[in-house]
Structure formats: C-alpha cells, structure tokens
A and B are shown apart, each in its own frame.
Chain A
Amino acid sequence: MRLVNSIENGIVIDHITAGKGMIVFNELKLKDVCNTIVLLMGIPSKHLNKKDILKIEGDFKLDPKVLGLIDTNIIVNYIEDNKVIKKEHVSVPDKVSDIIKCDNPRCISHTDDYAKPIFTLMKQNGELEYQCSYCEEITKIKFK
C-alpha cells in the first residue's frame, strides 16, 4: 500500500462515497489550482465499506454547498499546523446560486449576464430538484 503523508495546513474532504472522488475533484475545478492535491480512491471504510478522500494542501476557498449537492456523506476537515481545527458535515443546500445553471433553455439567465438566478430546493428524494428564481422551471442536479 502506498503511504500518503498527512497535510500540515489545508483541507481533507473525507467520507466521499466511493467513486465520487473524481466528481468532487472536477466540480471544485482542482485541476486549475496551484495547491498540492491528493485524491485517494477505494479506501477501506468502516461506515461506507469503501470511500474516496481528497486532500488539498494550503489555502483553498471551499464552498461546502457544492459538496452538499454531490454527496451528503462527506465530512470536511480543516487542518492547521497538523491539527484538525474544524469538522464540517455537508448537507443539501436549501438555496444555491452560481453553482448550477438553469435547465430551461428559454430562461433569461442563459442570455443576460445580469441575471443571477437563485435556485430553491424543491425535492430531495433520489434526484435533487431546484427551482429557478427567474423562470420557475425545475433543474435536476446531475454530475458526470
């Protein structure tokens, strides 16, 4: 087994449902940042059987709402001087903006840069469904 050092300062995104680590990596756009990133996949876990872990070394501005849309099993550990200073359980956000785009091609938000829609959670059984503040159509959350 390959050993990965713990991080001194940064964020550890733990308890990612196995297979979703890459989705988290992509949605946080980590390929575009200068931080050192480690993505561990298929790690044995007591609770999940298997899990993915993502470690981000150094300063990184994390929006936990993005994680809540992907996987509510996630726990975010904030590390300072090798110590966990905060643990955060993510949850499905009631409202989101910027993170998702309206599914309705006729919505003004696709053609006018001033339009910044706010999406309100309508359903969370199975798929997450959010309603656009401009056109009121439902957008279903899908991550590839």
Chain B
Amino acid sequence: MSKHLIEPNDLSNEEILKLIEVGKEIQVNPKKYNQLCSGKILASLFFEPSTRTKFSFDAAMIRLGGHIIGFADANTSSAKKGESLADTIRVMNFYSDIIVMRHPKEGAPKLASEYSNVPIINAGDGGHNHPTQTLTDLLTISKYKKTLENHTIALVGDLKYGRTVHSLIKTLAKFNSKKFILVSPDELKLPSFIIDYLKVNYPEIEIAEARYLEDVIEEVDIIYMTRIQKERFFNEGDYIKLKNSFLLNKEKMKKAKKDAIVMHPLPRVNEISYEIDDDPRCVYFDQSNQGVFIRMALITKMLEVGDYASC
C-alpha cells in the first residue's frame, strides 16, 4: 500500500483481506497485541466532531500500548488562528509517529499527505471518503456473511453526501459484488462520477435504483442504512416528507431475507426504528465494536509492527 490511507483504493484486496484476518485475530488473542505500539504516539487531529471514529482510534491505540495526543475540536488548535493544514501537519510530524485526521473539507487528508513524513489516516473528509469506516464495514460483513463476494447490497438514505457509502461502494466493487441497489431521494442520489467509475471499471456489476426499500428488500443480502441529514434540504417540509419513507421498521424487516444483515455507520437518527434493535440481523452496534479491532490492525500495519514487522 501507499504510506498513507487517504482513499479506499490505497489498499489492495490482499491488504484488505490481511487486515480483516488480523482484526479477527486481535479479538481472539488480544494479549498478543497489547504492547505492540509501546512508546509510539498517535496524533488525533479532529477538525470536525466525531464520536465513534475518534474514540475507536483512541481505544485502538491504547489497546496497542501506545499514546495519543491531539484535539477533538479545531477551535482548540492553531487552525482557529488561520494556520494552514500543511503547517499543522509539518509540525505534528515532529510530535507523532502516525496521524489520524478528520476534516470538513474534501481532499484535506490528501493535501496533508503531501506534507507528511509519517503515515496519515483519513478518518473522514467532508462528504468524500471514509476508508476506515469501510474497513470496519468489511470486517463486519466478513464476520456475518463469511465472504465479501457476490452479495446484493442495498445502500439506503443519503448517497450524495454519505462518505461512508462512497468509500464502501468503491471497495465492495473490487470484491465482485453481484448488485448494488441505490435507495435514496432524488436530492441525495449517488454522485454521477461514482456511478461512471463503477460502470467503466466494473461493468459486470448490476446497478439498480429504487425509490422504496420495501420494493427490493426481499433480494438484498446487506442493507446498508445511512442518516438523512436535515441540513441537506432547502426547506424543512421536504425533509419531514422524506424522512419517514426511509425508516426501517419491523414491518419492512418481515420481508427481508433470514440471513440478511442490517448495517449502519451510526449515528442513527430516525432511519432505523428502535423496535428492530434486538433482531439478530441488525448488526450495527457490533459493527461499531468491530471498528476498534480493524483500526488496531491498521495502526500495526502502518507502523510496521506485530504481523507487519519487517523481517
């Protein structure tokens, strides 16, 4: 792989499968990993709020025996004083061995990587990419569906600004997905450049669109829900009109396959009814849990320790 993880294609299929393998091994044998990053420092630069991603990276580094510095709010950094991202990164290179960053501007991690001697991990850039959520998703799929290949996946909700969807769809395409079904309101459709990318590079994958999840749920192996954000709409009326049409509830789940799984990068707002949380097919909370293990695997890979130590 390249030295940095900026977008999903920075990892080959073999590298992804190895990360999944290590992520599973960490769960079985955590003691083997708990001092691998002793003496190493992870800089956690969150220019935008986060709960799961930030704390799962923090937990991952702590469980590897390493240390964390950084900020969870850009207002407490020199970015507030107008410092350029490049300067922040140059300085943080002196203080850390690896940098995890989230930024509201799309392409910011790529810019950071151009000025960094230590590995940069993109923890989400605007509506663009979120490759470590994708790794989390893949570990979850591998756990529950045994293979990453040949699935029919419904992607539901905000497909336009949903960075988790953008990263996931590009990566699953590399693993011979059977079909993608895109379920979103007209205002939040998947960007055309991603559809073009899929058609050019993976013409064998079927891509379909549906207005309602219930119309297609019977054929779906993986239901990937995302949050529809109120601020994406010009007026509140449109938002209210649409928000419930993408609600996944008990009634809709009756039509889903017995071995289907429901995923969500979280946080959810009102797209998944609480009444289905106990359905064994709903794996979104364990999905968050898997995020720690895959991030542990990724950190060891990028710092070249443990299973990734050079001989």
The interface stretch among A27-35, A55-63, A80-88, A109-117 is A109-117
Contacting A at CB under 8 A, from B97-152, are 103-108, 110-111, 114-115, 125-128
**Most A Cβ at <10 Å: residue of B125, B128, B191:** B128
Quick one: closest A residue to B115, CB to CB? A114
In the assembled complex, A131 has its CB within 8 A of some CB on chain B: yes
Q: Within the complex, which residue of A104, A106, A115, A138 is in contact with B111, where a contact is CB–CB below 8 Å? A: A115
Instruction: Give chain B's interface residues, CB within 8 Å of chain A.
Output: 84-86, 103-108, 110-111, 114-115, 125-128, 191-193, 196
Which 3 residue pairs spanning A and B have beta carbons closest together? A134-B107, A135-B106, A108-B105
Q: Are B84 and A104 in contact (CB under 8 A)?
A: no
Q: Contact check, B105 vs A112: say whether CB atoms are below 8 A apart.
A: yes
Residue of B nearest to A131 (CB): B193
Q: How many whole Å from A60's CB to the nearest CB in chain B?
A: 32
Interface residue count for A (Cβ, 8 Å)? 21
B85 engages A134 (CB within 8 Å):
no
A40 at the interface (CB under 8 A from B): no
Which residue of the partner chain A has the closest CB to B87?
A114
CA A109 – CA B86 in complex, angstroms? 12
With the chains together, A110 CA to B125 CA distance in Å? 14
A residues within 8 Å of B by Cβ?
104, 106-115, 117, 122, 131-138
Chain A contact surface mostly: loop
B127 touches A106 (CB 8 A): yes
Q: Are A138 and B193 in contact (CB under 8 A)?
A: yes
Which of A104, A108, A131, A136 is close to B85, meaning CB atoms less than 8 Å apart?
A108
Which of A109, A110, A136: most chain B Cβ within 10 A?
Answer: A136
Q: Are B111 and A135 within 8 A (Cβ)?
A: no
Complex formed: what's the CA distance from A1 to B191 in Å? 53
The complex places the Cα of A93 from the Cα of B115 at a distance, in Å, of: 28
11 A-B pairs, CB-CB below 8 angstroms?
A106-B127, A107-B106, A108-B85, A108-B106, A112-B84, A114-B114, A134-B107, A134-B110, A134-B111, A136-B106, A136-B128
Please name all residues of chain A whose beta carbon is closer than 8 Å to the beta carbon of B105 when the two chains form the complex: 106-108, 110-112
In the complex, the answer to whether A135 meets B107 with C-beta atoms within 8 Å is yes
Q: How far is the CB of B188 from chain A (nearest CB, A)?
A: 15
| Pairwise interchain contact A114-B86, C-beta atoms closer than 8 A | yes
Task: Pick the residue among B107, B126, B193 that contacts A115 (CB under 8 A).
Answer: B107
Do B86 and A135 have beta carbons less than 8 Å apart?
no
- Choice from A112, A114, A134, A136 contacting B193 with Cβ under 8 Å: A136
Known: A135-B126, A136-B128. A108 touches B191 (CB 8 A): no
How many angstroms between the C-alpha atoms of A137 and B128 in the bound complex?
9
Which B residues are CB-close (under 8 A) to A108? 85, 103, 105-108, 110-111, 125
Nearest chain B CB to A129 CB, angstrom units: 9
The CA of A73 and the CA of B58, in the complex, are separated in Å by 58
Alpha-carbon gap, A122 to B192, bound state (A):
12
Interface-central residue, B108, B191, B196, by most chain A CB under 10 Å: B108
Task: Pick the contact of A106: B104, B115, B191 (CB < 8 A).
Answer: B104
Q: Residues of B contacting A115 with CB < 8 Å?
A: 107, 111
Taking CB as reference atom, which chain A residue is nearest B109?
A108
CB-CB nearest in chain B for A132: B107
Distance A10 CA – B146 CA, assembled complex (angstroms) = 69
Minimum Cβ distance to chain A for residue B161 (Å) = 9
Asked if A112 and B111 sit within 8 Å, CB to CB, the answer is yes
Q: Which residues of A contact B193 (CB under 8 A)?
A: 122, 131, 136-138
**Residues in A whose Cβ lies below 8 Å from that of B104:** 106
Inter-chain CA distance A134–B105, complex, in Å, is 10
- Beyond A106-B104, A112-B105, A138-B192, whether A133 also contacts B85 by CB under 8 A is no
Residue of A nearest to B126 (CB): A106
CA A117 – CA B106 in complex, angstroms?
A: 12
Q: State the CA gap A111–B127 with chains docked (Å).
A: 16
Known: A114-B85, A131-B193, A135-B126. Contact between A104 and B106, CB under 8 A?
A: yes
Chain A residues with CB under 8 Å of B107's CB are 107-109, 115, 117, 132-136
Give complex CA distance A17, B267 in Å. Answer: 54
Residue of B nearest to A134 (CB): B107
Which residues on the A side are within 8 Å of B126 (C-beta)? 106, 135
